[in-house]
Structure 1
Amino acid sequence: MIVNFIGKILYFFANIIPVKRIRKIIKAKIKWKYSHPYIANYLKLNYITPYYEKNNQYHLEPKAIFENEKIIWQFWYQGENEMPDIIKKCTQSVKRYMGEEYKIIILDKNTIKKYIDLPDFVVNKLENDFFGKKTTTFFSDLLRVALLSLYGGIWMDATIFLSAPINKDILSKKFFIFTRSKNKPEDYIEWVLFNRNYFSWDEGFQVNMLSSFLVAQKNSSEVSAIKDILLEYWKKEKTIRHYFIIQILFNILYDCKSADEYNSDIVPHLLQKFSDQNFDQKLWKSIKTKTSIHKLTYFKNIRKNSLIDIVLSHSYE
């Protein structure tokens, strides 16, 4: 409580900093400095340590048989017919570039049970929005690791846009995630300002991986442990204690920071970061050279002839 109290006081006084850019960075740092250690310690004490001491495993059974089929899993709770246009553009791009090689399964609230039976305590909390507005988002964190543990394959958030087929080196991995680079990039401040709750290179920062794109083999130890811990969390908890719980769990268990720039989680955010700039051929080519996997988010408005406008409209290849 003392750390919490001090953090809140510092956060309050940070509001008087006149330079908006500096104020945002300092407020974000104060916020995670007291929230990340708390949630990390809470998860270790109440879930991670008991999991390894008692070997608390939930045994889920596959309900579908895939004979030599490679699967891409996606999820939109309301169903494909209810997708906003930008989500449709994203899922169409996945079908366009990966549909010949992979079976693409887009799950919704009615089709989940065709592939997996989750415990009643999960289903009941999901159907009753037990955790409030974030229940469905939190459920998708559980769903991705449960499906990958059971069947293997690729999980792609419905907000992932592809500009080309996924690199074969990524597809061949037994386990792959985009992670935070150990070394700060030269423009790291720009990335902190881009998303100050997600990006930081400071020691002790716990959100160091992108959960929107995961590659894993069936029964992968990396996703199976997260699956069991999240199921236990769903069973016991009454609140979502932090928005980035799955990222923090991955970071605690597997130390997500990497020296390999190849899997830096900056790369899949490049299109989003420069989305509102005027379309520039060299910029778009540079982004596509680095990756074909682009993590997007919702746009209130898309400015005509902006980078994201041209890319999503497919008027420039």
Structure 2
Amino acid sequence: MNLDQLEAFVHVAELSSFTRAAAILDRPQPALSRLVRQLEVDLRQNLLRRNGRGVVLTEAGKVLLEHSKGILRQVDAAQHALKNLQGTLDGDFKIGLAPSVARFATVSLVRSFHAQFPQAKITVSEGLSSYLGEWLAMGRIDAAILYDTGETPLVDKRPLFSEEMFLISRAGADVPSAIPLKALPRYPLIIPGRQHTIRTLVEMCAAERGIQLQIALEIDAVPPILDLIDEGYGHAVLPLNAILADPRQRRFRCTRIAEPGILGRMAIGTSNQHPLSRLATRAVAMLESEIIPLYEARQKHIDAYLG
């Protein structure tokens, strides 16, 4: 198994086609076929299954694809690290952001990155915190700003700030300005699926106090949750960043949850299995210094919304 084989396999697998991979890599298709076939022979596994429309991954191929992308990325990082010893920082920094952070921070973080590292490239991926932790562990991203719901294997986390969760209802709903957590079961909830960190946070807080929530609907994306709230199908527990990003700029009834409140603790995470390049180390430091002022500025909008 060598890097040429892995590169050919990754491109073919992600593009589902030898023809498209050959065009991207600017290599003859027969050469790519030989590389992938030799990889299958070396590993004694069928990695791809050919069909009339291209290729699909076998179970073995799916496993190898995730590892191969991490291997190629680490090789690329090593090459850039050696180049960086000569002075200029270049390369590709990959950052993952939880959706609530991506909504208010992406543009400013990209702007700051390009100002500080003009010869480097930044790639921003938005994903659920559970996925971001997996991507870090596999080496697909260098760092992530994600919800911290406890220990995540293979990931080191440092706390950044906390997001307060509110009960979100349609405008004009007969709901108090504040409720104790024990009153939450009175309100039918439109809530994300179990892989979503907000669901985990809400259920953990409720379970610690023996509270049984009333789940009306499970909807994974925030925009349709807001649509359903607006039409009176139920309530949701969300950070106010979620409704501030509403493209329709609707007003909602926001109720503070107390005794105790529900806080989503945000952290910056890095893999403890994949060493950071010099660029990534500097970029992570930049993120930590930039994100707090951005969050504090966002809080002023939240206070104005509540006021």
TM-score (norm 2): 0.25
TM-score (norm 1): 0.24
Structure with bigger gyration radius: 2
The answer to which structure has the higher strand fraction is 2
